[in-house]
Structure 1
Amino acid sequence: MNSTEAGLAAARPDVRTRRAGRLFSAMAKENAVGYLFIAPSLVLFAIFLFYPLLKSIYLSFFLTDPRGRVAAFVGLDNFGSLFRSDAFWNSLLVTLKFTALTVPTGLLLALLLAALTFGKLRGMRTFRFVFSLPVALSVSTSSVIWMMLFHPTTGTLNYFLTKIGLSPVQWLTDPAWALVSVSIMTVWMNSGFQYIVLLSGLQGIADDIFDSARIDGSGPFRTFFQIIMPLVSPTLFFLSVVSVMSAFQSFGQMNILTKGGPAGSTEVFVYSIYKEAFINYQFGTGSAMSLVLFAIIMLLTFLQFRFERKVHYH
């Protein structure tokens, strides 16, 4: 090896080092730009999510005065008194009933409407627009609309019941009907979002699949249950997880329509937290309840993901 070749061989590591340095510098700049873009979101999460969570954990170990100031350290006594409270178990039972009434019904209704309107027939766009309308309404607006429909004397629902010879129903004041009434309103309120998501899932299925099914002589019911259902199972799984979480966090419609009544029949878990913290001014117990709700939602989400193996990802 002459002197020139030796110099080139000695220079190669320096070239590699410089290239690695430039690559590392470029990656660092790219990462810095990425963190700069997500910094506003991180700040908002820290203010409105992480800080309240840490504050709730802190307050759950204390008794507080009506202004929310720490009065005395009680350790786990707030959790103990919570699990010994009949109101806690009643709110949990009401929330489970509410979830059972709204989630399966809402998914079945949205799936039925999406299956009826995802075709390319004339006039389907009008139906899609109508079925998607509830997504544009807030909880308060939807609650006010249904409050007028549920009115015992001037409500439209009782008007039609009397027209067919049935007795009027005390929709929001009868303990046997109050939770059902709020559930009906909730199913309608959530139907727009669920319908749009399921319609998108159905429209994502290739036309060749339906053509092959028709050629093989598959009827509409067999096509729906053996072809469509497995192909939209990822969409249904996503909606089931989101709907269960939403049902356990429902508050607005109960606060507007029933105030948790009558006789606690619509006092769901979040309304109990609100009442404990902002009506009874027991912020320590309210914080403990919010942490229990967080744990319950995490457990339910984990159990739902255990069934993910039955989802057909195509």
Structure 2
Amino acid sequence: MLKTSTTDAVPEKKVKATQRHSFRLNANDKYYASIFLGPSLLVLGLFVFYPMLKTLYISLFLTNTLGKTTVYVGLGNYVNLISSPDFISSMFVTLFYVFAVTFFTVALGLLLANLASQKLPGIAIFRTLYSVTMGVSVAVAAIFWLFIFNPSTGFFALMSSMFNLPVMNWLTNPTSAMWAVIITTVWMNLGFTFLILLGAIQSVPNTLYEAADVEGASSNFQFFHITVPMISPTLFFVSTITIIGSFKSFGLIDMITKGGPTNATNMLVYRIYKDAFYSGNYSKSSAEAIILTVIIAFFTLLQFKFLEKKVNY
């Protein structure tokens, strides 16, 4: 009996020693985690969380031209914006722009990725051409498309004169100016979307297509019933990223249309910029920034609530 109790006591000591050792390891892990996460949290705090809270604070006041708060108005800035026809118009313009850019970017990216995934001679050249827009800056893209839309020497003007069609000035007509910005943005986003979707399509197992070929399924059937369901997580990711990026589009609008003509392309982001740095109304622009943040969060949550249910993991 004594022998048994002695041997039973030894493992108990080892267990306690192991627990103390694991506790020390966990404490060290927290120490090292704080060291590695500290710089990132500091940067996020200085450049993300503090500006966000400061913007929310300023939106509750009136400000002078230097951005200093003067009079507390509470939700007065938000009420004035929601009741402003110009702001409501900018909101609808932004929503149309976001949905058009998202639809055409994802649809064209999926089409080009599906074509580029085929085993054809010289297909690598087309893959490079489709993804080349990833290396183009916003300024270069704006200059490139300004030249294309030029009513005198641009590509569309030359095509119109070649076929004896009336030359249209894309950037002075409200409707065509919006589509000019949409086309430019889709062209800019297409390279990233194409590469992501191409990688997803190439990761689909070939055995699924081989089984479909044996059953005599057409290529269209394979695309909609094999390819699209298998890459649905990537489609969900791409659409979410494109929507968020479209809400924040600024550079192309500033360099191509500057919100015109007649505010036809005056998106919420550009409106925030103009109200802050042109008009000096920092409280109004801060309220617009908060509203834009809420809109982006709302549409992101909608996507996760409704579209994620159709994603096959």
User: TM-score range, shorter-chain basis?
Assistant: over 0.9
**Which residue of structure 1 aligns with residue 309 of structure 2?**
309
Q: Report the more deviating stretch, 263-272 or 78-87.
A: 78-87
Any conservation in 2 of the 1:132–1:195 contact (CA below 8 Å)?
A: yes
Give matches, 1:90-101, under 5 Å. Answer: 90-101=89-100
Structure 1 residues 212 and 9: CA distance shift in structure 2, 3 A: closer
The alpha carbon displacement at 1:229 in A equals: 1.3
* CA–CA distance in structure 2, aligned partners of residues 12 and 221 of structure 1: 66
**Which residue of structure 2 aligns with residue 149 of structure 1?**
148
* CA–CA distance in structure 1, aligned partners of residues 58 and 116 of structure 2: 50
In the alignment, residue 200 of structure 2 is paired with which amino acid?
A: G
**Which residue of structure 2 aligns with residue 57 of structure 1?**
56
**Which residue of structure 1 aligns with residue 209 of structure 2?**
210
The alpha carbon displacement at 1:153 in A equals: 0.9
**Which residue of structure 2 aligns with residue 44 of structure 1?**
43
Matched, 1:116 2:89: no
Q: Report the more deviating stretch, 189-198 or 223-232.
A: 223-232
SS of the equivalent of 2:70 reads strand
Any conservation in 2 of the 1:110–1:198 contact (CA below 8 Å)?
A: yes
Number of paired residues? 312
Any conservation in 2 of the 1:101–1:180 contact (CA below 8 Å)?
A: no
* CA–CA distance in structure 1, aligned partners of residues 34 and 120 of structure 2: 47
TM-score with structure 1 setting the length: 0.95
Any conservation in 2 of the 1:109–1:191 contact (CA below 8 Å)?
A: yes
In the alignment, residue 312 of structure 1 is paired with which amino acid?
A: N
The alpha carbon displacement at 1:32 in A equals: 2.3
Give matches, 1:182-221, under 5 Å. Answer: 182-221=181-220
* CA–CA distance in structure 1, aligned partners of residues 157 and 263 of structure 2: 24
Give matches, 1:225-240, under 5 Å. Answer: 225-240=224-239
Structure 1 residues 12 and 211: CA distance shift in structure 2, 3 A: closer
Matched, 1:243 2:208: no
TM-score with structure 2 setting the length: 0.96
In the alignment, residue 196 of structure 1 is paired with which amino acid?
A: L
SS of the equivalent of 1:63 reads strand
Structure 2 gaps of 5+ residues are none
In the alignment, residue 220 of structure 1 is paired with which amino acid?
A: S
* CA–CA distance in structure 1, aligned partners of residues 34 and 142 of structure 2: 41
The alpha carbon displacement at 1:17 in A equals: 2.1
C-alpha deviations, 1:91-148, integer Å up to 9, x for none?
1011011112211111111111111111232211111011000011122221111111
The alpha carbon displacement at 1:9 in A equals: 4.6
**Which residue of structure 2 aligns with residue 69 of structure 1?**
68
* CA–CA distance in structure 2, aligned partners of residues 186 and 89 of structure 1: 23
* CA–CA distance in structure 2, aligned partners of residues 208 and 11 of structure 1: 57
Q: Report the more deviating stretch, 115-124 or 60-69.
A: 115-124
SS of the equivalent of 1:90 reads helix
In the alignment, residue 249 of structure 1 is paired with which amino acid?
A: K
Any conservation in 2 of the 1:205–1:231 contact (CA below 8 Å)?
A: yes
* CA–CA distance in structure 2, aligned partners of residues 33 and 121 of structure 1: 51
**Which residue of structure 2 aligns with residue 288 of structure 1?**
287
The alpha carbon displacement at 1:30 in A equals: 2.3
The alpha carbon displacement at 1:11 in A equals: 5.1
SS of the equivalent of 1:72 reads strand
Structure 1 gaps of 5+ residues are none
**Which residue of structure 1 aligns with residue 257 of structure 2?**
258
C-alpha deviations, 1:60-107, integer Å up to 9, x for none?
111111111111111111111111111110110110111122111111
The alpha carbon displacement at 1:7 in A equals: 5.2
In the alignment, residue 276 of structure 1 is paired with which amino acid?
A: D
**Which residue of structure 1 aligns with residue 87 of structure 2?**
88
Structure 1 vs Structure 2: percent identity of aligned residues?
A: 36
* CA–CA distance in structure 2, aligned partners of residues 147 and 10 of structure 1: 83
SS of the equivalent of 1:71 reads strand
In the alignment, residue 41 of structure 2 is paired with which amino acid?
A: L
* CA–CA distance in structure 2, aligned partners of residues 52 and 138 of structure 1: 26
C-alpha deviations, 1:133-171, integer Å up to 9, x for none?
001112222111111111111112211122122111111
* CA–CA distance in structure 1, aligned partners of residues 109 and 29 of structure 2: 43
**Aligned Cα root-mean-square deviation (Å):** 1.4
In the alignment, residue 148 of structure 1 is paired with which amino acid?
A: F
**Which residue of structure 2 aligns with residue 137 of structure 1?**
136
* CA–CA distance in structure 2, aligned partners of residues 25 and 165 of structure 1: 82
